[in-house]
């Protein structure tokens, strides 16, 4: 029975060593946590996009429209696809991009490279690829559908992927390409959208708080006329040509057989190749880059261009903030009257939202109280059982 004598001693010793191990483990953990916090802080300070951007947007949308069909308008489709790839690369997800292609160049029987759309002579980069989501295709690209998408007045049966679900904190990039004239854009070779329609649609969007800022880019003939009649605030517009002037394609590819890209879009994409998600390049540099007779209209835009980042419109960059203090999951009831909607920066009443929160809080309180009460009883029972077994052992 000697082991019975050593048993309490060994218990005490093992308890002590366990405590020592626990202390070491806790110390190690605290050290790791502190160094991790320092490293996170350095990371965000180094890449502080949020610090240099003054825009108040929280999400980005892109509406990319190619309005002309037929094989010889290949370049309009590759224009749009080039823009699509750019905004996707810079972080806007497919769910926030409305891509409208009036014709299918990739699967056209005249395409020598089926499934591929190229934007340069030499065919170095396939813009169609495998990861593409075209929302409006073929004959769905009409003036009515575009205006419905922009204003949000869509049929109930229209799926979410075909809706522009922007809010008052969205920055929207609208890009249109095709054949245009003085104050109109030709759709599908059988109808036109006038610049007044576009201006009114944008004003409806402003009235319905569907955008924070908008960047409107047009690559057609006489592009400036397309945005000449805009009158809503916070819109930055650019076009490829002046009124009365044509826009020209940039280059042809000999094997595809048609022109593969337009000049304005080509130079824009070339400029964009040097931009990535953390880029701090501003819109003024972009405006400076546009040579020839392209034009930028910034009188409706409230911020100076040299303090507006490219990624405010082209990228889907999220701003993150490192919070120093740990967040505790405590349950508090929220009183509706004490918070005024203006304080929260919302324009709608918050009463309905907050009532639901406080109701849920009560449920959790009850559950919490009920759950936490009897743990000790349970563990006491198990300990008692162990003690009983040990006692019976020792009696034998």
Partner 1 sequence: MSAGRWTLLYIVAARLLLALSLIGESLKEDHQLASPLNAYPRLREGTYLFNHGISPYSGGTFRHSPLFLPFFSWLPDSPYLNASLWTLVDCISAWALVSIWNARSGGVRSRGVLLASMYLINPYLFLPSLATSTASFDNALLLLAIKFACERRTPPCLFSLAFASQLSLPSILLLPPILLLLLSDAKSHLASPKSFSTSYSAVAPVVLEFFAYFATLTGAATIATGGWSWAANTWGAGLILPDLTPNPGLWWYFFTEMFDHFRPFFLMVFSMHLLIYVAPVCIKFQHDPLYATFILVGLIAMFKPYPTLADAGLFLTMFTLFPETYRYLRYPIVTALLHLHAFLLLPLFHHLWVGAGTGNANFFYASSLVFGVANGGAILDAIWAGLRIAVGEVGEDYAVMQE
* Site membership for partner 1, residue 389 (CB under 8 A): yes
Q: Is 57 tagged catalytic?
A: no
Q: Which of 124, 179, 293, 319 is catalytic?
A: 179
What character string, x for contact with partner 1 (CB under 8 A) and - otherwise, covers 272-311? ----------------------------------------
392 binds partner 1 (CB under 8 A): yes
Minimum distance between the CB of residue 321 and partner 1, rounded to whole angstroms? 24
Q: Are 188 and 142 in contact (CB under 8 A)?
A: yes
Q: Which residues pair with 237 in a beta bridge?
A: 216, 297
Region of 26-34, 61-69, 75-83, 304-312 interacting with partner 1 (CB under 8 A)? 26-34
Residue 396 in the binding site for partner 1 (CB under 8 A): yes
Nearer to partner 1, 345 or 378 (CB): 378
* Length of the chain, in residues: 396
- Residue 166's nearest CA partner among 203, 132, 213 is 213
- Bridge partner residues of 32 (DSSP): none
Q: Which of 26, 320, 346, 360 binds partner 1 (CB under 8 A)?
A: 26
Report the residue number, 351 or 386, with the smaller CB distance to partner 1: 386
Residue with tokens 């109109």: 184
Does the active-site annotation cover 76?
Answer: no
Is residue 375 at the binding interface for partner 1, with CB under 8 A as the rule? yes
Task: Work out whether 3 is an interface residue with partner 1 (CB under 8 A).
Answer: no
- Which is closer to partner 1, CB of 351 or CB of 390? 390
Q: Should residue 34 be labelled a site residue for partner 1 when binding is judged by CB under 8 A?
A: no
> Contact at 8 Å (CB) between 237 and 230?
yes
CB of 21 to partner 1, least distance (A): 6
Q: Is 385 in the site for partner 1 (CB under 8 A)?
A: yes
Alpha helices in the chain (DSSP H): 2-46, 49-52, 74-89, 143-151, 195-207, 263-272, 283-289, 311-314, 341-344, 351-372, 375-395
Which of 221, 266, 319, 370 is an active site residue? 221
Q: Which residue has the tokens 């939202």?
A: 353
Q: Which of 149, 170, 150, 299 is nearest to 236 (CA)?
A: 299
22 binds partner 1 (CB under 8 A): yes
Q: Contact 133/94 with Cβ under 8 angstroms?
A: yes
Q: What is the largest CA-CA distance in the chain?
A: 109
| Residue 228 token pair | 């000449």
The C-alpha atoms of residue 216 and residue 237 are separated, in whole angstroms, by 4
Pick from 274, 329, 332, 338 the residue near partner 1 by CB under 8 A.
Answer: 329
Question: Where in the sequence numbering do the catalytic residues fall?
Answer: 179, 221
> Rule CB under 8 A: which residues touch partner 1?
21-22, 24-26, 28-29, 329, 367-368, 370-375, 377-379, 381-382, 385-386, 388-389, 392-393, 396
């Amino acid at each position: 029975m000697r082991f019975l004598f050593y048993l309490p001693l060994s218990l005490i010793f093992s308890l002590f060593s366990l405590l020592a191990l626990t202390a070491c483990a806790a110390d190690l953990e605290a050290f790791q946590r502190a160094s991790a916090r320092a490293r996170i802080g350095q990371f965000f300070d180094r890449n502080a996009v949020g610090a240099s951007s003054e825009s108040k947007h929280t999400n980005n949308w892109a509406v990319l429209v190619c309005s002309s069909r037929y094989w010889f308008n290949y370049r309009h489709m590759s224009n749009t696809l080039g823009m699509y790839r750019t905004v996707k690369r810079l972080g806007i997800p497919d769910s926030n991009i409305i891509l409208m292609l009036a014709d299918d160049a990739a699967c056209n029987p005249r395409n020598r490279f089926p499934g591929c759309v190229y934007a340069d002579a030499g065919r170095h980069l396939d813009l169609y690829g495998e990861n593409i989501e075209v929302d409006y295709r073929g004959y769905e690209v009409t003036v009515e559908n575009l205006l419905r998408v922009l204003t949000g007045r869509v049929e109930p049966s229209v799926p979410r992927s075909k809706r522009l679900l922007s809010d008052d904190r969205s920055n929207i990039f609208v890009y249109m390409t095709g054949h245009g004239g003085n104050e109109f854009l030709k759709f599908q070779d059988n109808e036109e959208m006038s610049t007044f329609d576009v201006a009114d649609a944008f004003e409806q969007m402003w009235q319905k708080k569907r955008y924070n800022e908008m960047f409107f880019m047009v690559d057609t003939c006489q592009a400036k006329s397309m945005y000449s009649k805009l009158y809503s605030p916070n819109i930055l517009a650019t076009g490829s040509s002046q009124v009365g002037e044509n826009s020209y394609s940039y280059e042809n590819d000999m094997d595809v057989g048609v022109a593969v890209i337009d000049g304005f879009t080509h130079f824009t994409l070339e400029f964009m190749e040097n931009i990535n998600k953390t880029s701090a390049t501003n819109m003024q540099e972009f405006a400076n880059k546009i040579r020839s007779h392209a034009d930028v209209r910034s009188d409706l835009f409230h911020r100076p261009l040299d303090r507006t980042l490219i990624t405010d419109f082209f990228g889907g960059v999220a701003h993150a903030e490192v919070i120093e203090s740990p967040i505790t999951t405590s349950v508090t009831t929220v009183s509706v009257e004490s918070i005024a909607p203006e304080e929260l920066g919302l324009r709608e009443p918050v009463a309905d939202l907050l009532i639901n929160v406080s109701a849920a809080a009560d449920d959790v309180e009850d559950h919490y109280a009920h759950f936490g009460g009897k743990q000790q009883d349970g563990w006491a029972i198990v300990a008692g059982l162990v003690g009983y077994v040990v006692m019976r052992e020792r009696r034998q």
